[in-house]
């Protein structure tokens, strides 16, 4: 009869357990970083999409022909139709950056109603009803920028900037996004990219 050798039952050593714990810790740290980055990217996409919508509204407003309302005498001619950018928004939405510092702001109906057919948000035909992470600006004219370092638009009133400023983590450091447009030879050219300053703060 053949003898059966019994193997000793052996557990994990302390070194093996420490290696496993270290690997799990590294994987957890990478996962936490990835999730935070994903959430921050999701929040900044709000600003990028909204600025794109404001810039498209400005371009559409410029493409519309504006003609003065006139009463003509027999044989008279009217003033030629013209193209014009919307004038600057009377105030950013929300009114202060503190309203979106580390939190969301729920726009009211009045926020995007201030202005006229030739100025501000009504001219752009733009409004938002969902809570927002950023303060939004629309400014017309050169050297009229809400974002530090953003490219300067056309001279005089021949350009505009749509921008978003936010402080997602509430630490007082702001991020900024801007897209402008400039009129050259009667044509409105939009910036090819959104200018970004400290995207994730």
Q: Is residue 45 part of a domain?
A: yes
pLDDT value for 170: 85
**Does the residue 188 lie in any domain?**
yes
Which of 100 and 65 is assigned the larger pLDDT?
100
Burial (CB count <10 Å: 0-12, 13-18, 19+), residue 146: buried
**Inside any domain, residue 139:** yes
Asked, for residue 99, whether it belongs to a domain, the answer is yes
Segment 10-59, tens digit of pLDDT: 777 888 889 999 999 999 888 888 888 888 888 889 999 999 999 999 99
**What tens digit of pLDDT does each residue of 158-174 get?**
889 899 999 988 888 89
- Count of domains for the chain: 1
Closest CA to 176 of 195, 159, 158: 195
Rounded (10°) CA dihedral 139, 145, 147, 152: 120
- Indicate if the pLDDT at residue 155 is higher than 70: no
Would residue 110 count as lying in a domain?
A: yes
Residue 128: CB atoms within 10 A of its CB come to 18
| Residue 98 resides in a domain | yes
Residue 123 in this model has a pLDDT that exceeds 60: yes
Strand-pairing partners, residue 190, are: 181
> Measured between alpha carbons, how far is 138 from 54 in angstroms, rounded to an integer?
8
User: Where in the sequence is the domain holding 178, given as residue range(s)?
Assistant: 21-64+83-197
Separation CA 188–CA 169 (nearest Å)? 36
Coil, helix or strand for 34?
helix
Residue 13, domain member (yes or no):
no
Rounded CA-CA distance 154/184 in Å is: 8
Comparing CA positions, the residue from 174, 179, 176, 175 lying closest to residue 194 is: 179
Tell me the per-residue pLDDT of 83-99, one tens digit each, with 9 for 90 and over. 788 888 888 999 899 99
Tell me how far apart the alpha carbons of residues 46 and 199 are, in angstroms, rounded to a whole number. 12
DSSP 186: T
Residue 73 placed within a domain: no
pLDDT at 13: 86
């Amino acid at each position: 009869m053949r003898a059966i050798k019994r193997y000793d039952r052996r557990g994990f050593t302390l070194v093996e357990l420490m290696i496993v714990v270290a690997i799990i810790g590294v994987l957890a740290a990478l996962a936490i970083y990835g999730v935070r980055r994903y959430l921050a990217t999701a929040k900044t996409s709000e600003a990028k999409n909204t600025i794109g919508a404001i810039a498209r509204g400005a371009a559409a407003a410029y493409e519309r022909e504006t003609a003065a309302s006139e009463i003509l005498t027999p044989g008279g001619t009217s003033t030629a139709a013209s193209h014009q950018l919307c004038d600057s928004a009377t105030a950013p939405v929300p009114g202060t950056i503190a309203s979106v510092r580390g939190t969301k702001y729920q726009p009211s109906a009045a926020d995007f109603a201030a202005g006229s057919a030739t100025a501000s948000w009504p001219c752009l035909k733009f409004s938002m009803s969902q809570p927002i992470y950023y303060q939004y600006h629309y400014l017309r004219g050169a050297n009229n920028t809400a974002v530090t370092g953003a490219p300067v638009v056309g001279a005089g009133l021949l350009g505009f900037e749509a921008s978003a400023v936010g402080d997602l983590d509430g630490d007082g450091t702001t991020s900024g996004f801007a897209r402008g447009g400039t009129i050259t030879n009667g044509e409105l050219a939009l910036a090819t990219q959104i200018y970004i300053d400290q995207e994730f703060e």
